[in-house]
Amino acid sequence: MSEVTIRKDRLAGRITLNRPQSLNALNSHMVNAISAALRDWHDDPHVKLVIVDAEGSKAFCAGGDIGALYAAGRQGDHETAKAFFRDEYRMNARVAEFPKPVVAFMHGFVMGGGVGVGGHATHRIVCGSTQISMPEVRIGLVPDVGGSFLLGRAPGRIGEYLGLTGARMGAGDAIFAGFADLYLSEEKWPLLKDRLSETADPTLIEAEPAPHSPLASIDLGAFAEGSVHDIMRELDSPQGEAVLRVMRRNSPLSMAVTLQLVRAARGDASMRQSLEREFRFSSRATTHTDFLEGVRAQIIEKDRRPVWNADASSARVTELLSPLEMEEINIEDNQ
């Protein structure tokens, strides 16, 4: 059985993530299959709209399958991670820049790499089970797959808050923060997919009122501070203790880089710039960051007790986001 099902259905190109036993986590095969489909459909006159969805009840996509990257990195193979991130980011760019409507049906967990697949679609539909997050700082990575671009465009200081805490968003919060567009009860999705495949007309989507967004009423003034240290200092009060407790568990280096990425993305004219900046970090993740330790503690051994040792100074942040010279990701040849 294919881990991602690619087919044409009348006027629609259909992409269905089909790895529910692993919460549809993306591996290299899935990433490359999605890229190939979008490349093939780019100029195909018979494909007028793309539908992206997933099998299983628990998750649209819970991120990237990073176990292989961890194993390779521990063995001294750092090219495997670079190749995966390069291919994944190019796929993210294909989704974001696709010239035809892309409708993503995002149910259950939508984390990290799942945001990269569905979060850049033109029509992003969520439902009652949706839980969207960018939790990379918990494993020593940073919000990538174009996530920093979305975080940088969230209202107020929501981008900093979500990036530094990895907090989950329900459907209402996701729409408010700009990670989704429309709310529709999941039981109505099959009929809508059928109508979209028949007509290729996204104006037929009849959204329901979005749920309340708790995020809209939270005071996030502390996240306007200039550094992670300053933000945590401002949160050091009874009101901020819960958020501060979460941040203390995250990689200090990842949080410092994330803060820089989110704020830099606010000035980006396109997502490509954000992806290029993200790749500078992720391509160095297995050699110069807390990534391997974070994956060990949270995913492999699951002791939930990472020992963060990476230098989190501003100088190291600058170094990790510096150009890669000959290894810069080249999205220009993406078409």
User: DSSP code of 101?
Assistant: -
Phi, psi for residue 308 in degrees, rounded to 5 = -80, 115
> Each residue of 119-150: pLDDT tens digit?
999 999 999 999 999 999 999 999 999 999 99
| pLDDT mean across residues, the chain | 96
* Location of structure tokens 């099998």: 55
Instruction: Give residue 330's pLDDT.
Output: 80
pLDDT at 191 over 60: yes
pTM score of the predicted model: 0.96
Record the tokens describing residue 279, joined without a space.
């790749």
> Each residue of 281-331: pLDDT tens digit?
999 999 999 999 999 999 999 999 999 999 999 999 999 999 998 788 887
Instruction: Give residue 27's pLDDT.
Output: 96
Instruction: Give residue 334's pLDDT.
Output: 53
For residues 241, 62, 151, 295, the Cα torsion angle rounded to the nearest 10 degrees is 60
Helix (H, G, I), strand (E, B) or coil at 7: strand
For residues 51, 207, 171, 105, the Cα torsion angle rounded to the nearest 10 degrees is -10
Query: What structural domains does the chain harbor?
Result: 4-334 (3.90.226.10)
Q: Would you say 162 and 179 are in contact if contact means Cβ atoms under 8 Å apart?
A: no
Kindly write down the DSSP assignment for every residue of 262-330, as one continuous string: HHHHTT-SSHHHHHHHHHHHHTTHHHHSSHHHHHIIIIIS--------S--SHHHHHHHTS--GGG---
